[in-house]
Structure 1
Amino acid sequence: MRSTTIRVAAATLACFSVVAAGCSTKSKGTTSSGDAKTAKVAFLMPDEASTRYEQHDKPGFVAEMKTLCAKCQVLYQNADADATKQQQQFQSVLSQGVKAIVIDPVDSTGAVSLVNQAKAKGVKVIAYDRPIPKAKLDYYVSFNNEAIGKAIASSLVQHLKSANVSPSSGGLLEVNGSPTDAAAGLIKKGIHEGLAGGGYKTLAEYDTPDWDPSKAQQWVSGQVSRFHKQILGVVAANDGTGGGTISAFKAGGLTPIPPVTGNDATTAGLQLIIAGDQYNTISKPSEIVAGAAAKVVWGLLNNKKPKATATLFGSPAQLFTPTLVTAQNLKQDVVDKSVGGKPIATAAQLCGGRYATGCSKLGIT
């Protein structure tokens, strides 16, 4: 199977550098050029259940800010899936005098009041990964979440059809993300689009609180008892919920394991693909959006309006194009690819222990 890349017309990468010539216009603001060079900037992430924030998003943002502004200070906080904690962190960085806040909200609805507090103080707010639909933002940076959902779902349908799995023999489960996460809502919408017209009915679906893999596992365990051999496949919205689904199948003695989707290309998710337990994932290197967010911040600090390649919920946005990954293109589009001079994932990271045989079969060494 050839690599499948999601095409999003609105998400062209033109004008990636927001301070490039022709990409900026003066906007109202109070930050002087001198202040910008020593500004405090907050980077507020939502949870620690996904390793991406600590391992990729934070380092990517900090590194790009350092390149753009050597004397700027990044205040990093992680809310550990606690909306109240994130509110406290938001107010804390405001009290420390930040000039801009990049926030990946735990609760997209609850974050509206936080945005309003910042705007009242003249602080720029950039939503990151997860949108804040009802807030007036300075910018939104993300991969295209709706396209992600559509890609993983349509890929699963195509796989089942290629394997001659009859729609009359059962149906699919859908394990969505957190109900308080607007990005999860976009992924869910895309999943529904990807399944529409595919011929496979949805047996049941579930919105996973806080994206918690253990809650996904618990729900899927109940569906195994309920439907058992009728489960033809599962559209899971990320690698965590996909991993929880696979654990439920193994604990329930369901063999062979129906194909399961994922998203984020985590080490665990990629290893499940290598082992043959997970069917697909989405490669969306966090360093790409983290670097873009830093460029947006730097432009706004210098009273320059970043050019948008899209508009989402009324806010200017930059939406990047991710890549669908299966066993067939994992080596080509993950192991052999680099972002910022570093491989997305290395054979050393993926191929230890019980994954060595699978890596060998896929030519990953």
Structure 2
Amino acid sequence: MNATIRRRVVVSALALSLAAPLAACGSDHQEAPEGKDHIGLLLPENKSTRYENFDRRIISRKVAALCLECTVDYANAESSVEAQRTQFEALVKKGVKVIVLDPVDARAAKDWVDSAARQGVQVIAYDRLAEGDVKAYVSYDNEKIGRLQGEGILAALGSRAATADIAMFNGSPDDPNAPSFKKGAHAALDGKVRKIVYEKGIPEWSEATAKKEMTDLLNARGAQGVDAVYSANDGMAGGIADALKSAGAKNVPLSGQDAELPALQRVLNGTQSFTIYKEVRPEAETAAELAFRLLRGQSIASLTSTTADNASRTGIPAKLFKAVMVTKANLKGTLVDSGAVRTDLLCTPSVAAECASLGIK
């Protein structure tokens, strides 16, 4: 993160691409009798820029375009499982029959989701696959993202791959997307590198923890004791890059995910090999349309081209979008030319020369 996936107070490339304020869609907090024509939207945290500024607004705008009489009942859990449970149960008590849920903790949500399903409430798992009787799921193909990251590490290593010692910083253990990133990365790396010398899931995707762990590893193995670092997201990559720089380690391929602005600048200056770009708009708009169709009793088959499984249900109708690897070579064509990132914010003095060399103005 979504892959993922993206737990920092930073301005992401995605945020920049959607910087213009979106008009309010009706009122997110208007009351209607017994939740009639209401869609619940529960997002997990407000530390990263995307949820408050973009997912919420895009989903609300799309719902308004589809249904003038509909209202989005929105709440943010601010990283608290208990707060999200209370928010979820309040929507069910109100009579809301469709809830878009991005869970703080997918396993903890199972009891709420199952209880709601027994009361006729349909839950759409958004960005992360919640446990329980979920009606539909919208996200990115997280295993493919992990594989893409692993392949990016191999490409950055080139002929050094077969003799390379790799450190792997996986996503937070409580994030259901993290195992998929890890599985995909291993599918690409296993048998292609010499050894995985370190591997750990970093709680809360913490940049500070990743930096400390990387520092300790370099202290133990020496500045040149790690040949490449798999980081599941850009936030952790920032801490890892700082640790590598402090240790004097050079030419160490480093992965990331989320196309955050600082990561793009690291890609430009060569301290991060690549990041993964996942556009929120199609994911959010699909979730909104799924919610509207379920609210109106319409088929969702045309919106769900595949299926997904959680621990308690198989064959959940799903839409999984594809992500894009962004390197220095394709950053301009992928993000700049499409308007996904503002060049005045990207090309700060520290990377102005790199921008100029790529024709980024």
If the length of structure 2 is used for normalisation, what is the TM-score? 0.84
Give the aligned residue type for 2:207.
P
1:349 paired to 2:345: yes
RMSD between superposed Cα atoms in Å: 2.1
Correspondence for 1:209 among 203, 209, 220: 203
Q: Which position in structure 2 is the counterpart of 1:244?
A: 239
Q: Which position in structure 2 is the counterpart of 1:192?
A: 186
| Superposed displacement of residue 257, structure 1 | 5.2
Q: Give me the identity figure in percent.
A: 33
Give the aligned residue type for 1:106.
V
Q: Which position in structure 1 is the counterpart of 2:336?
A: 335
| Superposed displacement of residue 145, structure 1 | 0.4
Tell me the distance in 2 between the aligned counterparts of 1:72 and 1:262: 38
Q: Is the 8 A contact 1:50 1:240 kept in 2?
A: no
| Superposed displacement of residue 330, structure 1 | 0.7
Tell me the distance in 2 between the aligned counterparts of 1:118 and 1:362: 53
Correspondence for 2:42 among 41, 44, 69: 44
Residues 256 and 108 (structure 1 numbering): CA distance in 2 closer, same or farther, change over 3 Å? same
The number of residues matched between the two structures is 322
Unpaired runs of 5+ residues, structure 1, are: 1-33, 338-342
| Superposed displacement of residue 54, structure 1 | 2.5
Give the aligned residue type for 1:120.
R
Aligned ranges 1:45-84 → 2 under 5 Å = 45-84=43-82
Aligned ranges 1:74-153 → 2 under 5 Å = 74-132=72-130, 134-153=131-150
Tell me the distance in 1 between the aligned counterparts of 2:55 and 2:214: 30
What whole-Å deviation, never above 9, does each CA across 1:82-131 have from its counterpart, x for those lacking one? Answer: 22222222223333332211111111111111211221321210001111
Q: Is the 8 A contact 1:246 1:257 kept in 2?
A: no
Residues 123 and 172 (structure 1 numbering): CA distance in 2 closer, same or farther, change over 3 Å? same
Tell me the distance in 2 between the aligned counterparts of 1:71 and 1:154: 47
Tell me the distance in 2 between the aligned counterparts of 1:82 and 1:363: 44
Q: Is the 8 A contact 2:244 2:250 kept in 1?
A: no
Tell me the distance in 2 between the aligned counterparts of 1:48 and 1:185: 23
Tell me the distance in 2 between the aligned counterparts of 1:357 and 1:96: 56
Q: Is the 8 A contact 1:273 1:326 kept in 2?
A: yes
Tell me the distance in 2 between the aligned counterparts of 1:199 and 1:255: 19
Greater relative contact order: 1 or 2 (C-alpha under 8 angstroms, separation 6 or more)?
A: 1
Q: Is the 8 A contact 2:154 2:161 kept in 1?
A: no
Tell me the distance in 2 between the aligned counterparts of 1:166 and 1:238: 21
Give the aligned residue type for 2:297.
N
Q: Which position in structure 2 is the counterpart of 1:232?
A: 227
1:325 paired to 2:322: no
| Superposed displacement of residue 153, structure 1 | 0.8
Residues 91 and 165 (structure 1 numbering): CA distance in 2 closer, same or farther, change over 3 Å? same
Q: Is the 8 A contact 1:38 1:71 kept in 2?
A: no
Tell me the distance in 1 between the aligned counterparts of 2:188 and 2:264: 22
| Superposed displacement of residue 186, structure 1 | 0.8
Tell me the distance in 2 between the aligned counterparts of 1:248 and 1:89: 39
What whole-Å deviation, never above 9, does each CA across 1:137-170 have from its counterpart, x for those lacking one? Answer: 1100011000000001111112201xx32643x5
Tell me the distance in 2 between the aligned counterparts of 1:336 and 1:89: 41
Q: Is the 8 A contact 1:172 1:201 kept in 2?
A: yes
Tell me the distance in 1 between the aligned counterparts of 2:207 and 2:40: 28
What whole-Å deviation, never above 9, does each CA across 1:213-234 have from its counterpart, x for those lacking one? Answer: 2222222221121223121111
Give the aligned residue type for 2:345.
Q
Tell me the distance in 1 between the aligned counterparts of 2:39 and 2:60: 10
Aligned ranges 1:295-314 → 2 under 5 Å = 295-307=289-301, 308-313=304-309, 314=314
What whole-Å deviation, never above 9, does each CA across 1:310-331 have from its counterpart, x for those lacking one? Answer: 1110211011111111111011
| Superposed displacement of residue 58, structure 1 | 1.9
- Secondary structure, aligned partner of 2:228: strand
Aligned ranges 1:165-180 → 2 under 5 Å = 165=160, 167-168=162-163, 170-180=164-174
Give the aligned residue type for 2:38.
K
Q: Which position in structure 2 is the counterpart of 1:273?
A: 267
Residues 182 and 332 (structure 1 numbering): CA distance in 2 closer, same or farther, change over 3 Å? same
Tell me the distance in 2 between the aligned counterparts of 1:291 and 1:279: 31
Residues 292 and 213 (structure 1 numbering): CA distance in 2 closer, same or farther, change over 3 Å? same
- Secondary structure, aligned partner of 2:230: strand
Task: Kindly report structure 1 stretches of 4+ aligned residues shifted beyond 3 Å.
Answer: none
- Secondary structure, aligned partner of 2:199: strand
Q: Which position in structure 2 is the counterpart of 1:20?
A: none
Give the aligned residue type for 1:230.
G
If the length of structure 1 is used for normalisation, what is the TM-score? 0.83
Q: Which position in structure 2 is the counterpart of 1:360?
A: 356
Give the aligned residue type for 2:346.
L
Q: Is the 8 A contact 1:81 1:210 kept in 2?
A: no
Residues 98 and 142 (structure 1 numbering): CA distance in 2 closer, same or farther, change over 3 Å? same
